[in-house]
Amino acid sequence: MNWMLLIFIGMSVICFHAYGGIASVLISWCIVFAQTGESNVFVLCIYSLVAAGVYVLTEYIRNVKIESDDWLSKLSLNSKQLNVFKEVSFSIQQTLNLQKLLHTILTSVTAGHGLGFNRAMILLVDEDGTKLKGIMGTGPMTVTEGYAVWDRITKSKYKLLDLIEGKETEKSVDLLLNEQVKGLEIPLDEPNFLYQALESGEPLHITRIDESDNTLWLFAHQFNMSELVVFPLISQGMKVGVLIIDNPVNKKPITPSDVDSVTHLANQASIAIQHIHLYGKIEDLAIKDGLTGLFNQRSLQTYLEQHLGEPQGTLSIILLDIDHFKHFNDTNGHLLGNQVLIQLADVIRNSIMEDHVAFRFGGEEFVILLPHTNKEIACFVAERIRSNVENAPFPCREGQPSGRLTISLGVASSEELGALTSLELVDVADQAMYKAKKTGRNKVVSS
């Protein structure tokens, strides 16, 4: 009987913890009292000690298990995060395309196999450093849309790399969100929550919408936000932009651990975005003219070889030169002459079509390539450039021999001249331009 009562006490403690222990000790002592007719305090103490010992042992085992499960959960989470960082790092290293890079970052933050937030968006600092411009967003605008996307991804069994590589692109381009994000322009010359995050350099976790911050209220109203985190994207002291995350679908609270996991990714993203910006600037230095911003002569050779190598690819070319430019420089100085070259480049840009490409050939000579364009249309474009230059308000133009600043243009087309090398095509246009100069200037002559 004593052994059975001890087992009863132990099982009661295991099943019902302290309350079970107290109740079972009292019940066991009552059973002993009923059988013996004696209220043996020593037996009550023994039962109490057994109950206390079993309770301490079970609590110890339970705490060890909880701690073990907690560590296992943390290890699992860290393993997942490391896997995400590995896959994202691999994808980032494979591209120098900004749009592809941003897609990779946003996907890794929002995908279920990634960090698992419902929505993310990126705003980047403009070239002047005066405002943040919305670039891209990933995630739903409504709860219904969010669950629909999750269901589609689950059924398709997409992994993180699948989403990064764009297998879900056609269905999850998030057109509505991107349309809203790309319309954002947030000035940085006034205090707001984005400015605050960039200035502090630390993630800003917002759990309550402050209506006195007009920018924060705009985001909360436009994107239905109640809790969000802003991660500043800063690389070597340079403010690159901000990454914003929230959970509008499942309303899951964002924990400090969540913030830490995204912080590492945001730091990596900042470096990658800045790297692409620097690469773009270096590339521009290699292929563009430093004064006018037009493509340089080296780029012209590359473009000519590409287009002339295309089968049945008609290519027309316009070569132009400023009339009496030496007289202008001698009269007004080279600094003002450079200002005229810059303004002329702007006139050319505004006078040609989107698929036309303008180059500074050297000195005061410029070239425009017109792919898949016949000579008739090329002459029309050349005349438009000539007219726009003639009517443009160039500085000190009244000091020119004609009382205005003008250009002479030569036009050539591969369609009429047959198979020519790139140098031969430029030479034909050059001859036409010199003919325009010899026959009165300020005119268009075709070969």
Q: What is the pLDDT of residues 362-381, one digit of tens each?
A: 899 999 999 888 999 999 99
- The answer, yes or no, to whether residue 225 has pLDDT greater than 60, is yes
Mean pLDDT of 55-67: 88
**Burial environment of residue 328 by CB neighbours within 10 A (0 to 12, 13 to 18, 19 or more):** buried
- The pair phi, psi for residue 362, each rounded to 5°, is 150, 140
> Which of 139-143, 193-197, 354-358 comes out lowest in average pLDDT?
139-143
- So what's the pLDDT on residue 26? 84
- So what's the pLDDT on residue 167? 43
Q: Cα(44)–Cα(39) distance, rounded to whole angstroms? A: 9
pLDDT in tens, 98-117: 888 888 888 888 875 557 78
- So what's the pLDDT on residue 160? 47
Residue 220: which pLDDT band, with cuts at 50, 70 and 90?
Answer: very high
Take residue 318 and report the two structure tokens written for it.
């316009």
**Is 424 tagged catalytic?**
no
Residue 170: which pLDDT band, with cuts at 50, 70 and 90?
Answer: very low
- So what's the pLDDT on residue 169? 44
Task: Report how far apart the first and last C-alpha atoms of the chain are (Å, whole number).
Answer: 120
- So what's the pLDDT on residue 148? 57
Residue pair 365/319 in contact (Cβ under 8 Å)? The answer is: yes
Residue pair 22/64 in contact (Cβ under 8 Å)? The answer is: no
pTM of the model: 0.61
> Which of 155-169, 230-244, 303-317, 411-425 comes out lowest in average pLDDT?
155-169
Q: Cα(237)–Cα(299) distance, rounded to whole angstroms? A: 33
Q: Are strands 365-371 and 238-246 parallel, antiparallel or unpaired?
A: unpaired
Residue pair 407/348 in contact (Cβ under 8 Å)? The answer is: no
Residue pair 146/249 in contact (Cβ under 8 Å)? The answer is: yes
Take residue 225 and report the two structure tokens written for it.
């936000």
Residue 237: which pLDDT band, with cuts at 50, 70 and 90?
Answer: confident
Which is the catalytic residue, given 364, 365, 390, 398? Answer: 364
Mean pLDDT of 68-97: 69
Query: Is the Cα dihedral 442, 443, 444, 447 positive or negative?
Result: negative
Residue 171: which pLDDT band, with cuts at 50, 70 and 90?
Answer: very low
